[in-house]
Structure 1
Amino acid sequence: MGSTPLQYLTLFLPALLITVYLLASFPRPPTVPIIHTSLAHLPSSSPSWNVYPEDLYSGGAYANLPLGRVRYWLIGPEDGRHIVLIHGLSIPAIVWKDVAPVLASRGYRVLLYDLYGRGYSDAPQVTYDTTLHTTQLALLMQHVKWDHAFVVGLSMGGGVATAFSAHFPHLVDGKVALIASAGIMESSDISRTAKFMSTPLVQTVSALPPFQHYMRLLANTSKSSELCETNPIQEIVRLQTAHLPHYNAAVASCLRDGPIRGLRFAFQSLARSGNQVLLIHGTSDKTVPYKYASKIHNLVPQADLVTISDGGHDLTVTHASEVNALLLYFLTDEYSYKPRG
């Protein structure tokens, strides 16, 4: 009669455990992530540099956080109600240039900052997942000694704001505004070009010195200088691609791993939080299609959904007056949303 599997296990297990015991060892200790430089560390010789100066807003400073320096600005009266503005995937805090000063002029203390890997914030060589982004904001608020704030997010920043309210609910002061918000996008709605650009092969090629040299030459052309005046928001993408060695990798990681997708749990948490929620979305948004406004509204039914007819994705630039009016009313104590019948 043959031996059973249990008998074989009983026979060989002691020898196996002794072998594992003798060979057991720890791997190498974890290493400190590589920190890539921001625009603050690079030469300002490009004509396109003027599109996003380091002192675009007053009250600028740097916070030395564990994963690199973070550029932030505090504008508005020091005794004003606190509000944080979170930008999106590819364009740093310049995207709030027509919104932040208005909020500050109406008495709010406004915190703007560049996400890791964008603008004047350093770029750690890590996975750019949701936790990285929410922890960055939590540590920044600790740095400026804020216990709570209203939170406003644009595009991917909407996903960051929503996840932040789930991860750090005690830091949210009862109001969350989401503009053209990502967070639950489906892979089918992310362009083939974006998927191609985020592949490891393309990222490897784009990090090569010849490619970087070519992008710098392109950014220094006269055409680039003209774009600074006619379309500065889009020109900042080319400026970062040319001058930031880890920018493309950071954006690609956000597309693969970051707060673009997979945040249904966070929106459901927001629905249970008791926070007042404002959703603003344009019907002609080709980056985060308008259908996601309805999907988010279904997950957060108490939210007030405001539709901007024919509005595209960059609402804080193209429809700044409407966005400002909506935010200023939403942030007041008098705001009270009653679901439309």
Structure 2
Amino acid sequence: MVATSPYQCLTLSLLILPPLLLTTYFMAAFPSPPAPVFINPSLASLPPTAKSWSIYPEDYYPGGGYAPLPSGKVRYWLMGPEKGKKVILIHGLSIPAIIWKDVAPTLAARGYRVLVYDLYGRGYSDAPLTTYSTNLYTTQLALLMQYLRWEKANIVGVSMGGAIAAAFTAQYPYLVDDGVALIASAGLMESSDISRTAKFMSSPLVQMLTASKPVQMYLQRLTNQSASPDQAPSNPILDIVRIQSAHLPGYNNALSSSLRDGPIRGEINSFRSPGFENKRVLVLHGTKDRTVNPKYASQITALLPQSSKKKLITIDGAGHDLSVSHGLEVSEALLDLLDGSSWKTLS
């Protein structure tokens, strides 16, 4: 029998006790309560002299208001008669609700009750410092409808908004009325569809650098220079994107997180969800769309349940921002969808 010296016992204790105590501590330790979500400001925080107020003011549409939701305030506008059939328009990745400038008033003038709003991180809605996942966007819309006491509505989305519309229909089919429109819809894009520049710019390290004060000041200076009187007239839609990127700390994070974690990709199950059954579904795409390949329009149509009344419309020669470049055609297609009389025999 080998005798153990006091020195050896002490050595063994020093080797065994610390790991044992640490293990016990981590197993028994209770986590701290989660920190509140940090909220970055919206376009409403910019001074009245900012160019954004002349391009896309807070009262750009009539019937504006703010919904105080858990992840921040959401800016919305309501147009058209209160008793009209309800329609919700969802914008895409980078351009806020100004993208519906031609479509929303047209629908409202034809008797529909139209809701447009800014997604989190865009326009006049707050920008929570969080992951911009599909669930963030669908929950935002569900809570906004609850705030407005809307029990059901027709859902229309463009670009990333189309993917949100599909996910919303899959998750909350009881909140979706008879019509769904997916315009230049994302949702099935592959990683290879996203440019290397976009992937690089959306990386966490680059986002940390672009959020720094020196880079923000540089972007703001570039934006101010582009607004000088001796410059050629610019595109208001592109200007509002530049202003958000330069002046809103949460905007670039919202875009980059949406590319990495959001509904741009991976929504195949949403499109083939039973939530679309027995609904009229319009898939509208331009043949020259360089942002979301036109091939995805036919793929989305094929994924939709057989019981849905689906219609695929392509606009020859049109690019990605259909609601701006082809507002009349988009409005007419939506009016046909909402009326529904020509969809009864579709399968």
Does the TM-score normalized on the shorter chain lie above 0.5?
yes
Aligned equivalents of 2:230 and 2:133: distance in 1?
Answer: 35
Identity across matched positions, percent: 59
Aligned pair count? Answer: 327
Q: Deviations over 1:192-226 (max 9, x none)?
A: 11111101121011101011111112222254668
Aligned residue number for residue 323 of structure 2: 316
Q: CA RMSD in A?
A: 2.3
Aligned residue number for residue 34 of structure 1: 38
Q: Could you list the runs of 4 or more consecutive aligned residues of structure 1 that deviate by over 6 angstroms after TM superposition?
A: 15-18, 224-228
Q: What is the aligned counterpart of 1:24 among 19, 28, 31?
A: 28
Check 1:194–1:21 CA distance in 2 against 1; reply closer, same or farther (3 A cut): closer
Aligned residue number for residue 129 of structure 2: 125
Paired amino acid for 2:284 = I
Aligned equivalents of 2:30 and 2:173: distance in 1?
Answer: 37
Aligned residue number for residue 111 of structure 1: 115
CA contact (8 A) 1:81 1:108 kept: yes
Q: What is the aligned counterpart of 2:99 among 83, 88, 95?
A: 95
Gaps of 5+ in 2: 1-18
What does 1:293-304 correspond to in 2, within 5 Å?
Answer: 293-300=297-304, 302=306, 303-304=310-311
Q: Give the SS at the match of 1:91.
A: coil
Aligned residue number for residue 265 of structure 1: 269
Check 1:184–1:147 CA distance in 2 against 1; reply closer, same or farther (3 A cut): same
CA contact (8 A) 1:50 1:228 kept: no
Aligned equivalents of 1:190 and 1:267: distance in 2?
Answer: 21
What does 1:143-292 correspond to in 2, within 5 Å?
Answer: 143-223=147-227, 230-269=234-273, 272-292=276-296
Aligned equivalents of 2:190 and 2:93: distance in 1?
Answer: 16
Aligned equivalents of 1:69 and 1:16: distance in 2?
Answer: 48
Aligned equivalents of 2:153 and 2:302: distance in 1?
Answer: 25
Aligned residue number for residue 7 of structure 1: none
State whether structure 2 residue 322 is matched by structure 1 residue 329. Answer: no
Check 1:224–1:108 CA distance in 2 against 1; reply closer, same or farther (3 A cut): farther
Aligned residue number for residue 71 of structure 1: 75
Gaps of 5+ in 1: 1-14
Q: Give the SS at the match of 1:221.
A: helix
Paired amino acid for 1:106 = R
CA contact (8 A) 2:42 2:125 kept: yes
Check 1:222–1:263 CA distance in 2 against 1; reply closer, same or farther (3 A cut): closer
Check 1:108–1:322 CA distance in 2 against 1; reply closer, same or farther (3 A cut): same
Check 1:211–1:295 CA distance in 2 against 1; reply closer, same or farther (3 A cut): same
Aligned equivalents of 2:285 and 2:336: distance in 1?
Answer: 17
